[in-house]
Amino acid sequence: MNSLSRRKFLKIGGGTAIAAAASGMIAQSIVQALDKSSVASGIQKIPTYCDICFWKCGAIAYVKDGKLWKVEGNPEDPLSRGRLCPRGTGGVGAHYDPDRLKSPLIRKNLRGEEQWVEVTWDEAFDYIAEKMKKIKTTYGPESLAFFSHGIGGNFLKHTIKAYGSPNIAAPSFAQCRGPRDVGFRLTFGEDVSSPERTDIKNAKCIVLIGSHLGENMHNTQVQEFADAIENDASIIVVDPRHSVAASKAKFYLPIKPGTDIALLLAWMNVLVKENLYDKEYVEKYGFGFEQFAAEIQDYTPEWAYPETGIEPEMIRETAREMARYKPATLVHPGRHVTWYGDDAQRSRGIALLNALLGSWGRKGGFYTPVSMDVPSYPYPPYPKSDKGKVDNPDHKYPFAHETITTGIREATISGKPYPIKGWFVYATNLLHSLPNEEETIKAIQNLDLMVVVDVIPSEIAGWADVVLPESVYLERHDDINVEWFREPFIALRQPAVESPHEQKPNWWMAKKLAEKLGLGAYYPWKHIEEYLETRLSNAGYSYGELKENGIIRGEKKPIYFDEGVPVEFPTPSGKIEFYSLQLQEAGFDPVPKYTPPPGPPAGYFRLLFGRAPVHSFSRTHSNPVLMDMMNENEVWVNHDMARRYGLKSGDYIKLKNQDGVVSNRIKVKATERIRTDCVYMVHGFGHNSKMLKRAFGRGASDAGLVTKYQVDPLMGGTGMNVNFVTFEMEA
């Protein structure tokens, strides 16, 4: 790829100079507009790490004359390699957002009415502590559940564990990457974790199955993807929509949505039949290969063609292309994989395909991540719960290895296996992240206590009894990030500026609340810096050095089997499980099987959704810098379909789903770049929280249309690509 097209790719996809300059300028004008007074003169550079998404890129915050000026990548940081994605660059907008929560609030009227009384922190904690004590004495401490997303939840999690609840969940499992991790665990005994252990930069062939890198802006992956493109890696993209990544592909396969298992089986069939797989690797490390080969022998490309819409010759050619570059062929495991409810088995199919190509543990495939050894803080032990967790009664989902958010929601509605009476929600907008809003609201109505910690008046905050305003990441310390990555390092988040109002950091809230609950013994430290210093000095590192540089890097270690990484597969057989007895014993298919997904009714289209490069989930639409770059979403409609419905790009319509739910108005994008059987929109828009002045009513919410979901029987993940929409024209 020439440098011009690389730049072009990064322009659409990446941490570009252009986007960075633009947001820097916008940020600067906001700084000037919002506050002309100057506190201190000169420029300070404070290293920290980003929190606009959960990738945790090392950053440097610039403070000019006492005011936050801009954020750039920290060149010392292995994740950002000195460059942030456009969202990270726009992170300054989080500090200057005029719609931020300013002080603790207690609900005045009914839940969800968004009527508040401003209170002091003391009043807020007294209220919460009293209710928490009551829940504990009446129902037991397990009846309070904690939802969080991201490293900021660590200290509150500690308080909740000290209080005695094991019910702690994040949407990153059952609404995101859970099925993938289960599929890989069942196959290799380990999961791909986050950041993914994908060796994108050394891959010679990369297969993306709905992983829309370039729109999905996970920084390191996008930078490595650009490197791979520059090194002429062969790219194969499978997506019903011609994504940014697809525009870089040698082979683009516009698959019929929901049929990826059929394609995976056919690919594996070709690799085995044509003897193209890594025989030596499979013989040495594989378990049950013969049974596996027998199971897949009928899944020919001709069989897969009517299911997937992908021509048999294309299936053969792409299988051969993968084999040509093995073991440096990376079939990307994806991340947000909760699509159709058969997701753990689809992910297992991806794991098996990688196993045939010998890419696990090999350069250009999956490396073995390493980390520094930093012991956790020596806290007193937590109380034990006799009741156990509430989310997965009788191990209904036998392979769930994390807590299922929607399982807690179900228990909150039914009161079974035991009642849940309190929700403590930290940094997760459950109304946009869990499927079926109505069920979430029904659960909330059963609660005696609902607390939300947020930085802006999000939809979920609107349903709280108590809202606690947090300092944004550029104003606070958090736990250190001891990352598992291709090289070991530790990163520090530390404040660059003060919070503008009454906002406080999570660690402060967690400690204060614990003290009000009589759990002060769990907080032997006075300030988080004492905690950080203890953790680092116990590990033999200098907190002073970390403060100075933001990053401490360890020595590089081997990360591939050929470099001496011990070859271990922590599965029951100790090998790569081509045939899974674990699955068989639990009553599931030991090798994935394909069941066609129900298609859209006449006049309806499957609703698909994904990411925009400049926004994170539903959390950045109040950020003035990022909203300046994109302030509403569009619905992609195939241009022939658009013509049939008399629609053209720029028209506004509403989307109505199979259950009669109608969205906000949304702009049409008529395009050749999507199949005729589906439509696509960016997730996270369509806010209806009244206090979000800039974001309110802009674009439509995919979450609102996701009333139906298909639960994964292996692990309880919620497949959300099972909703269908039709068009309602504007009158």
Ligand X SMILES: Nc1nc2c(c(=O)[nH]1)N[C@H]1C(S)=C(S)[C@@H](COP(=O)(O)OP(=O)(O)OC[C@H]3O[C@@H](n4cnc5c(=O)[nH]c(N)nc54)[C@H](O)[C@@H]3O)O[C@H]1N2
200: contact with ligand SF4 by CB under 6 A: no
| Partner that binds at residue 219, options ligand X, ligand SF4, Mo ion, none, CB closer than 5 to 8 Å by kind | ligand SF4
Map the footprint of ligand SF4 across residues 84-113, applying CB under 6 A. Answer: 84-85, 87-88
Calpha distance 700→131 (Å, rounded) = 36
Q: Which three-class secondary structure string do you get for 210-267?
A: CCCECCECCHHHHHHHHHHHHCCCEEEEECCECCCCHHHCCEEECCCCCCHHHHHHHH
Upper half-sphere CA count for residue 584 (Cβ side, 13 Å) = 11
Calpha distance 457→118 (Å, rounded) = 13
Residue 341 φ/ψ, nearest 5 degrees? 90, -15
377: left (phi over 0), alpha (psi -120 to 50) or beta: beta
11: three-class secondary structure by DSSP: helix
Q: ω into residue 417 within 30 of 0, thus cis?
A: yes
Minimum separation from the CB atom of position 545 to ligand X (A):
26
Minimum separation from the CB atom of position 78 to ligand SF4 (A):
12
Identify which of 223, 209, 184 has the alpha carbon closest to the alpha carbon of residue 366: 184
| Partner that binds at residue 234, options Mo ion, ligand SF4, ligand X, none, CB closer than 5 to 8 Å by kind | none
Minimum separation from the CB atom of position 73 to ligand SF4 (A):
7
Residue number with the smallest Cβ distance to Mo ion:
176
Minimum separation from the CB atom of position 218 to ligand SF4 (A):
5
Calpha distance 145→406 (Å, rounded) = 12
30: three-class secondary structure by DSSP: helix
Taking CB under 6 A as the rule, which mask of x and - marks residues 366-405 in contact with ligand SF4? ----------------------------------------
Calpha distance 173→424 (Å, rounded) = 18
168: contact with Mo ion by CB under 5 A: no
| Binding-site member from 20, 31, 57, 330 for ligand SF4 (CB under 6 A) | 57
Taking CB under 6 A as the rule, which mask of x and - marks residues 500-529 in contact with ligand SF4? ------------------------------
Distances (CA, A) of 82 to 71, 221, 329: 11, 14, 27
Per CB under 6 A, the segment of 82-90, 121-129, 269-277, 659-667 that binds ligand SF4 is 82-90
Map the footprint of Mo ion across residues 496-535, applying CB under 5 A. Answer: none
610: three-class secondary structure by DSSP: strand
The token pair that represents 64 in the structure block: 């000019």
Calpha distance 181→193 (Å, rounded) = 7
* Residue with smaller CB distance to ligand SF4, 11 or 102: 11
For Mo ion (CB under 5 A), the number of binding residues is 2
Minimum separation from the CB atom of position 342 to ligand SF4 (A):
29
The token pair that represents 574 in the structure block: 């100790």
Minimum separation from the CB atom of position 600 to ligand X (A):
13
| Partner that binds at residue 272, options Mo ion, ligand X, ligand SF4, none, CB closer than 5 to 8 Å by kind | none
Please say whether the beta carbons of 50 and 250 come within 8 A.
no
Minimum separation from the CB atom of position 156 to ligand SF4 (A):
21
Minimum separation from the CB atom of position 623 to ligand X (A):
10
Q: How many CB atoms lie within 10 A of CB 715?
A: 27
Per CB under 6 A, the segment of 49-57, 476-484, 533-541, 697-705 that binds ligand SF4 is 49-57
* Residue with smaller CB distance to ligand SF4, 149 or 218: 218
Identify which of 512, 504, 502, 453 has the alpha carbon closest to the alpha carbon of residue 477: 504
| Binding-site member from 55, 146, 281, 531 for ligand SF4 (CB under 6 A) | 55
* Residue with smaller CB distance to ligand SF4, 219 or 726: 219
* Residue with smaller CB distance to ligand X, 129 or 222: 222
Minimum separation from the CB atom of position 316 to Mo ion (A):
33
468: three-class secondary structure by DSSP: strand
Please say whether the beta carbons of 103 and 119 come within 8 A.
yes
* Residue with smaller CB distance to ligand SF4, 83 or 242: 83
Sheet-wide strand order for 481-483? 481-483, 489-491, 551-553
Map the footprint of ligand SF4 across residues 209-228, applying CB under 6 A. Answer: 217-219
* Residue with smaller CB distance to ligand X, 151 or 536: 151
Q: Which three-class secondary structure string do you get for 674-721?
A: ECCCEEEEECCCCECCCCCCCCECCCCCHHHHCCCCEECCCCCCEECC
Helical packing angle, 343-357 and 260-273, nearest 10°: 20
For ligand SF4 (CB under 6 A), the number of binding residues is 13
Minimum separation from the CB atom of position 192 to ligand X (A):
12
Q: How many CB atoms lie within 10 A of CB 445?
A: 14
Q: Which amino acid is at 275?
A: N
Minimum separation from the CB atom of position 196 to ligand SF4 (A):
13
95: three-class secondary structure by DSSP: helix
Map the footprint of ligand SF4 across residues 111-170, applying CB under 6 A. Answer: none
| Binding-site member from 26, 31, 50, 271 for ligand SF4 (CB under 6 A) | 50
| Partner that binds at residue 88, options ligand SF4, Mo ion, ligand X, none, CB closer than 5 to 8 Å by kind | ligand SF4
Map the footprint of Mo ion across residues 317-336, applying CB under 5 A. Answer: 336
Minimum separation from the CB atom of position 635 to Mo ion (A):
22
| Partner that binds at residue 56, options ligand SF4, ligand X, Mo ion, none, CB closer than 5 to 8 Å by kind | ligand SF4
Minimum separation from the CB atom of position 625 to ligand X (A):
14
* Residue with smaller CB distance to ligand SF4, 11 or 250: 11
Residue number with the smallest Cβ distance to ligand SF4:
88
Identify which of 262, 303, 312 has the alpha carbon closest to the alpha carbon of residue 596: 262
Distances (CA, A) of 584 to 270, 356, 594, 673: 25, 21, 16, 41
| Binding-site member from 176, 244, 492, 642 for Mo ion (CB under 5 A) | 176
| Residues present in the chain in total | 731
* Residue with smaller CB distance to ligand SF4, 50 or 170: 50
Calpha distance 648→488 (Å, rounded) = 51
* Residue with smaller CB distance to ligand SF4, 57 or 296: 57
| Partner that binds at residue 238, options ligand SF4, Mo ion, ligand X, none, CB closer than 5 to 8 Å by kind | ligand X
Minimum separation from the CB atom of position 240 to ligand X (A):
5
Upper half-sphere CA count for residue 23 (Cβ side, 13 Å) = 29
Calpha distance 492→193 (Å, rounded) = 21
| Partner that binds at residue 522, options Mo ion, ligand X, ligand SF4, none, CB closer than 5 to 8 Å by kind | none
Per CB under 5 A, the segment of 176-184, 197-205, 294-302, 405-413 that binds Mo ion is 176-184
Residues that bind ligand X (CB under 6 A): 51, 53, 87, 149, 152, 171-172, 175-176, 209-212, 216-218, 238-241, 243, 255, 257-258, 260, 334-336, 339, 426-429, 432-433, 453-456, 458, 470, 472-473, 608-613, 615-619, 680, 683, 702-703, 706, 720-721
Residues in contact with Mo ion by the rule CB under 5 A:
176, 336
Q: Which residues of the chain form contacts with ligand SF4 (CB under 6 A)?
A: 50, 52-53, 55-57, 84-85, 87-88, 217-219
